[in-house]
Structure 1
């Protein structure tokens, strides 16, 4: 023998009420993650712009791309492979030396100073200068007057090289200095910015939830 007991305390509209509440929760949650992502991107861009680099590579993508979700998420970062160098710092070693451009080195693509490879390909020959107890140099040969020698040589002057028959004196002008390694310091803190806004999610959610209920 069995006896079945049942107590029905739910109204017929309970399912509809719960569905409406679930939609509000999803809407508040998605709005909160979207806001945190937007704040992170804006502040991250501002931080990078102050350094004069990478601000246009800052991005934020919210999932799902459309509609609301009970489990919204966001991916925020910088679309540059070497961005971690600015976040953490890094030491770059040469094999055996790194050749760093001096102020005399001409600028190439993107307005950056050429490296030795680009220089020899597009400008001319480089000559080694070994200095006991000092960093070695790579230099280019130019013919220039004493007055012209007071400034960095132009790209055209460097391409002329020895320029037989030209005016002035043939000189060796240092273009690059060789060093064993270079340490780039930590100069950005985008991760800290993102984490701070992630920590604000409970407050953002509460505000968005209250606004929905006031409506």
Structure 2
């Protein structure tokens, strides 16, 4: 098990690293600023959880959290900070944190909360969806083509997910609009077509078929028919 600790306080960081290594039998990598944390969290570096301080010397730790969530990385994040105002906790949780511990704390409580967020993340794992050489990992909100990560916008991702979950069936434009936006205001009539165009460009022209007068569907045959 590997855990990333992001903490600038040398004494506290050393205590957490030593304590968790002993208590959880885990490898604890330690970053002391947001720049180092981003490097540690680059794609391909797998962690079971991140312990994240907010008050870091070069920037707010919430920027690290946003960096993770913006690329659809669902690695559990436990915020560890001296900021105890309710508004601060809400901001951290709304930004995508899984739990929040206020300093000072007991190490055994930190270990217990860490085990809990890791356990919840493992229980919430969603099976992969695959069509041809396209693989989508809903738990991490990541898409691969021929084993290579494909960068999709949030709206492109939601469009693709809706089509894959209904593979073989035609989805009307209105259904896709609802999957992407829900009930949130007026949507331009060509919005879905724009996302379909981008998905075809990134994942192959023959993956998504246009069913004239009806909508769109994933081509499960692989021959474009």
TM-score, structure 2 as length reference: 0.22
Higher RCO (CA-CA < 8 Å; seq separation 6+): 1
TM-score, structure 1 as length reference: 0.23
